Chain A
């Protein structure tokens, strides 16, 4: 019986005007997004190659001077444009995408200016995730808002229920057929986009990409199911299909427009963090404190002789300063991460937001990618420091007084560039992606189930005549 209902509803949807218009719209937008992606990626990859070349050239310059020069100079590592950004760009353009480090510390992160145009109003990339978030949610509502109220008006609902069919089956049949119709549309769009990207773009089809596409489709199905249940809810609550349409549009505005766009407000009001000026003041205070307590002569400078006793005092002071600054800054970064993650958790009220976070995890990009690169950078920095210390230990002409800021009291011999460990950004593993996504998945499934249950109860009590 369930299959009969699904088949009937599905055919009903397929022949409808809304299906045709959605299909046309989705195909056009997916194709436009794919073309735009291919063009932008070519340009940004070229820019990245230049930046990366410059980075390696600078590092080579340091190694030619001395190993200490390599260790103490700050360098900026930029993240590569992601090849699968057409699935979800995860707002990477606006997130930090470069890390400043030396062998002694991972200092800070920044959004390399030049990756985005500050004069261009901020906008979403036409990635699958954006199109789906906007259109899937909308058409899922459009397919369901009159599922009950509309059939009641056309008097077919009473006839359907005159057959030996339970109300639960009818409702789930409508839900399943709506999800299937939406997925047929999205699937077509995804296919079109994939063809454009694979034909015109640089990358090829790989098992990883196939997995990501499936993951995306699963997330989209969940989004469709969630909004279809909201549509059914609107359909069951309202006395006629006009009102249920307005209710459905209200749900859509709240979830797709209002909640995601109030994030900055939520972050600043509910989870405030200290201002950067305060942090800077704290660092200066800590520095003053250290300078005051440092033994006299700590600041004396004379770089001619590495073994000058003052160099040891200064090296100790500089290490303490570095540690003090690092402690303050790292705590501040943790506060930023917390603020960002908590804000996301609040906005997870909206299935559109959870969809965005889920697709970010599926594509392994955005904030998750940055956090992994940030953590991996700390590991790399440890390796670089060990490399330097081992090198320094073999140098007889070095007093081994580690100074993180100056090239004085450690080895002054050059080092072969090829031997220097290089940072290699590793892609996110399945566990890296699933872990953070799980809470959003649970919230989303819980919301969908709760709303469906509510709809079911209301439908059971619904007067179908």
Chain B
């Protein structure tokens, strides 16, 4: 009996114009969203390769350890082709500093090179699915009973020896039998487009995740089918049912998520970035003061000479061609300063974490509020499945912080802070005294530094003074005399691949929520249909 009912409803739906139009809608919108996102992914992949090569080149072309500041470039997530989540707005580059832990990722966002494009929004497969599937579900279910009642076929049907449960089950299965092929077709089409696309490579793990996304879509579809059936069973006419369903659709799909974000923004404030920067600057000042005190108490003079030196923020220091005591001063400076710098990074972290937490809190509040709508739940689950949700990003950022710890440990393990190789590639055995340097550089014209200084103080033109000193070029006076540092054993950042279900712990609860909503709506629909006046 039920098979007959399902077959009848399926065929009626199949020949109806709404099936054709719904199918065409999917046929146009799904490829459109996938193609746009594949193109975005290709842009990001190109940018990733450029950034990664630049970062590797920068790390390979250093001669002293103090200049080594590896940059982590996070690879784009292939699943972002389906659901972008927050991946388009958080950046993908993390510079590793000694004096700071990674806070926010830098680098280009979805807007690319033109910041004005950030004011344009974009949709992905998940958004389109959330919009179109809910619409189709409602379009096929809003008149489940009202239409047949108006046509007068419902009472004919119920005149047979047919229980209401069977009638309802037949109706629902008929609707699902119509909608599932559309859903399967949408996913199949997307899969084909992904397979054909250059640069997008899915492993078995990714396909497994797409299967999970499919399962989530089925539950999402079911929720809206049951909403439609419930409204239909409570309405007097098809027109009423339709109007109610459409308004519910606009409300749940378009308005609730925006209201949720707006309320999250207005009721959970975030800490001020300017404020954070000011506090950090103060801590930096405190640190520099501590370094200065430590150096003074170690008896290191504040000023000294250097022949070729270059310094930069975060304690970068590179020295060539200096005399032994100067080298020694630089080495001791770094030996004292760098551990303090590293310790202060830990000291800054609670302040930075408080700021970061306030950002997370607001984003989570927006997500929690949007769970009022099945669309909000579906989006949250989908972005977790696609590994582009906030939690995935937070995991990756935690990874970069762990990487920094590993990098610092590696430096400490080779005693880099206390060695000459921190500041110069020059072999300590070849260090010379100042007198030797002056004698060699001037070609023997001056025997000691004091002799040269006495002569130089009588010279007006400072360029003439220098030209004497650069008469003979010594090996080791400039960076070009040395090879790059061998950093083959430096730890590298690895992006964790994860398992099929990793990172989905919180989604289980959300899926449970969706399933409970489905069962509840079904129960309500069942009761409403039992009480439905079929005449």
**In the complex the two chains form, is A264's CB within 8 Å of B274's CB?**
no
B318 at interface (Cβ–Cβ under 8 A)? Answer: no
**Which of A21, A138, A246, A276 sits near B18, CB closer than 8 Å?**
A246
**In the complex the two chains form, is A117's CB within 8 Å of B362's CB?**
yes
Known contacts A17-B243, A118-B104, A246-B21; is A110 also within 8 Å of B262 by CB?
A: no
Known contacts A36-B263, A142-B246, A261-B122; is A121 also within 8 Å of B21 by CB?
A: no
**In the complex the two chains form, what is the Cα distance from A269 to B117 in whole Å?**
13
- Which residue on chain B has the smallest CB distance to residue A47? B272
B56 at interface (Cβ–Cβ under 8 A)? Answer: no
A134 at interface (Cβ–Cβ under 8 A)? Answer: yes
Total contacts A-B at CB 8 Å: 197
B39 at interface (Cβ–Cβ under 8 A)? Answer: yes
Known contacts A118-B90, A126-B259; is A273 also within 8 Å of B114 by CB?
A: yes
**In the complex the two chains form, what is the Cα distance from A276 to B108 in whole Å?**
10
A458 at interface (Cβ–Cβ under 8 A)? Answer: no
* B-contact 0/1 string along A4-21, CB 8 Å cutoff: 000000000000011001
Is chain B's binding surface mostly helix, strand, loop or mixed? helix
**In the complex the two chains form, what is the Cα distance from A343 to B393 in whole Å?**
31
Q: How far is the CB of B447 from chain A (nearest CB, A)?
A: 29
Most buried by B among A113, A119, A125, A262: A119
Among B411-468, those with CB < 8 Å from A are 462-463
**In the complex the two chains form, is B114's CB within 8 Å of A336's CB?**
yes
**In the complex the two chains form, is B258's CB within 8 Å of A120's CB?**
no
Is chain A's binding surface mostly helix, strand, loop or mixed? helix
| Cβ–Cβ < 8 Å partners of B177 in chain A | none
B25 at interface (Cβ–Cβ under 8 A)? Answer: yes
* B-contact 0/1 string along A111-155, CB 8 Å cutoff: 111100111111111100010001100100010000000000000
| Cβ–Cβ < 8 Å partners of B114 in chain A | 267, 273, 336, 339-340
| Cβ–Cβ < 8 Å partners of A120 in chain B | 261, 264-265, 359, 362-363, 366
| Cβ–Cβ < 8 Å partners of B132 in chain A | 253
**Which of A112, A267, A269 sits near B120, CB closer than 8 Å?**
A267
A245 at interface (Cβ–Cβ under 8 A)? Answer: yes
| Cβ–Cβ < 8 Å partners of B462 in chain A | 302
**Which of B135, B263, B273, B393 sits near A114, CB closer than 8 Å?**
B273
**In the complex the two chains form, what is the Cα distance from A367 to B116 in whole Å?**
8
**In the complex the two chains form, is B246's CB within 8 Å of A119's CB?**
no
| Cβ–Cβ < 8 Å partners of B246 in chain A | 138, 142
**In the complex the two chains form, is B259's CB within 8 Å of A119's CB?**
no
A247 at interface (Cβ–Cβ under 8 A)? Answer: yes
**In the complex the two chains form, is A253's CB within 8 Å of B131's CB?**
yes
A217 at interface (Cβ–Cβ under 8 A)? Answer: no
Among A183-234, those with CB < 8 Å from B are none
**In the complex the two chains form, is A96's CB within 8 Å of B104's CB?**
no
Known contacts A113-B273, A117-B359, A121-B366; is A250 also within 8 Å of B25 by CB?
A: yes
**In the complex the two chains form, what is the Cα distance from A167 to B434 in whole Å?**
104
A29 at interface (Cβ–Cβ under 8 A)? Answer: yes
**Which of A119, A138, A253, A275 sits near B390, CB closer than 8 Å?**
A119
Known contacts A22-B247, A138-B250; is A95 also within 8 Å of B363 by CB?
A: no
Among B307-340, those with CB < 8 Å from A are none
**In the complex the two chains form, is A130's CB within 8 Å of B258's CB?**
yes
Q: How far is the CB of A277 from chain B (nearest CB, A)?
A: 7
**In the complex the two chains form, is A40's CB within 8 Å of B86's CB?**
no
**Which of A35, A109, A302 sits near B266, CB closer than 8 Å?**
A35
**In the complex the two chains form, is B240's CB within 8 Å of A265's CB?**
no
B471 at interface (Cβ–Cβ under 8 A)? Answer: no
**In the complex the two chains form, is B247's CB within 8 Å of A21's CB?**
yes
B123 at interface (Cβ–Cβ under 8 A)? Answer: yes
Among B77-105, those with CB < 8 Å from A are 85-86, 89-91, 104
* B-contact 0/1 string along A44-63, CB 8 Å cutoff: 00010011001000000000
| Cβ–Cβ < 8 Å partners of A110 in chain B | 115
| Cβ–Cβ < 8 Å partners of A386 in chain B | none
**In the complex the two chains form, is A36's CB within 8 Å of B265's CB?**
yes
B113 at interface (Cβ–Cβ under 8 A)? Answer: yes
**In the complex the two chains form, what is the Cα distance from A262 to B17 in whole Å?**
28
Known contacts A29-B259, A120-B363, A123-B257; is A340 also within 8 Å of B243 by CB?
A: no
**In the complex the two chains form, is A243's CB within 8 Å of B17's CB?**
yes
Q: How far is the CB of A151 from chain B (nearest CB, A)?
A: 13
Known contacts A250-B25, A258-B32; is A95 also within 8 Å of B119 by CB?
A: yes
State how many residues of chain A have any CB contact under 8 Å with chain B. Answer: 78
**In the complex the two chains form, what is the Cα distance from A22 to B247 in whole Å?**
8
Known contacts A39-B267, A94-B118, A265-B36; is A124 also within 8 Å of B89 by CB?
A: no
**In the complex the two chains form, is A134's CB within 8 Å of B254's CB?**
yes
B212 at interface (Cβ–Cβ under 8 A)? Answer: no
- Which residue on chain B has the smallest CB distance to residue A338? B114
Q: How far is the CB of B288 from chain A (nearest CB, A)?
A: 20
A249 at interface (Cβ–Cβ under 8 A)? Answer: yes
B304 at interface (Cβ–Cβ under 8 A)? Answer: no
- Which residue on chain A has the smallest CB distance to residue B355? A114
Known contacts A117-B362, A121-B366, A263-B122; is A340 also within 8 Å of B117 by CB?
A: yes
**In the complex the two chains form, is B112's CB within 8 Å of A119's CB?**
no
| Cβ–Cβ < 8 Å partners of A275 in chain B | 113
Q: How far is the CB of B151 from chain A (nearest CB, A)?
A: 13
A418 at interface (Cβ–Cβ under 8 A)? Answer: no
| Cβ–Cβ < 8 Å partners of A340 in chain B | 114, 116-117
A351 at interface (Cβ–Cβ under 8 A)? Answer: no
**In the complex the two chains form, what is the Cα distance from A276 to B54 in whole Å?**
14
**In the complex the two chains form, what is the Cα distance from A277 to B113 in whole Å?**
9
B491 at interface (Cβ–Cβ under 8 A)? Answer: no
Q: How far is the CB of A64 from chain B (nearest CB, A)?
A: 20
| Cβ–Cβ < 8 Å partners of A90 in chain B | 119
A422 at interface (Cβ–Cβ under 8 A)? Answer: no
**In the complex the two chains form, is A119's CB within 8 Å of B86's CB?**
yes
**In the complex the two chains form, is A32's CB within 8 Å of B263's CB?**
yes
**In the complex the two chains form, what is the Cα distance from A267 to B111 in whole Å?**
10
- Which residue on chain B has the smallest CB distance to residue A40? B266
Q: How far is the CB of A57 from chain B (nearest CB, A)?
A: 12
| Cβ–Cβ < 8 Å partners of B250 in chain A | 25, 134-135, 138
| Cβ–Cβ < 8 Å partners of A118 in chain B | 86, 89-91, 104, 359
| Cβ–Cβ < 8 Å partners of A367 in chain B | 116, 119
Q: How far is the CB of B255 from chain A (nearest CB, A)?
A: 6
**In the complex the two chains form, what is the Cα distance from A243 to B21 in whole Å?**
8
**Which of B116, B127, B363 sits near A119, CB closer than 8 Å?**
B363
Chain B residues in the interface with A (C-beta under 8 A): 16-18, 21-22, 25, 29, 32, 36, 39-40, 43, 50, 85-86, 89-91, 104, 108, 110-123, 127, 131-132, 135, 139, 239-240, 242-244, 246-247, 250-251, 254-255, 257-259, 261-267, 269-270, 272-275, 359-360, 362-363, 366, 390, 393, 462-463
29 interchain pairs (CB within 8 A)?
A17-B240, A32-B259, A36-B263, A95-B119, A110-B115, A118-B104, A120-B264, A121-B86, A121-B89, A121-B363, A125-B262, A142-B246, A243-B17, A246-B139, A264-B40, A268-B43, A273-B113, A275-B113, A276-B113, A277-B50, A300-B463, A302-B462, A336-B114, A336-B115, A339-B114, A340-B116, A343-B120, A367-B116, A367-B119
| For the complex of A and B, 9 pairs with smallest distance between CB atoms | A114-B273, A263-B120, A91-B119, A39-B266, A123-B261, A119-B363, A340-B116, A36-B262, A94-B118
Q: A138-B246, A261-B121, A336-B115 are in contact. List 5 more A-B contacts (CB 8 A).
A: A40-B265, A111-B118, A118-B90, A257-B123, A276-B108
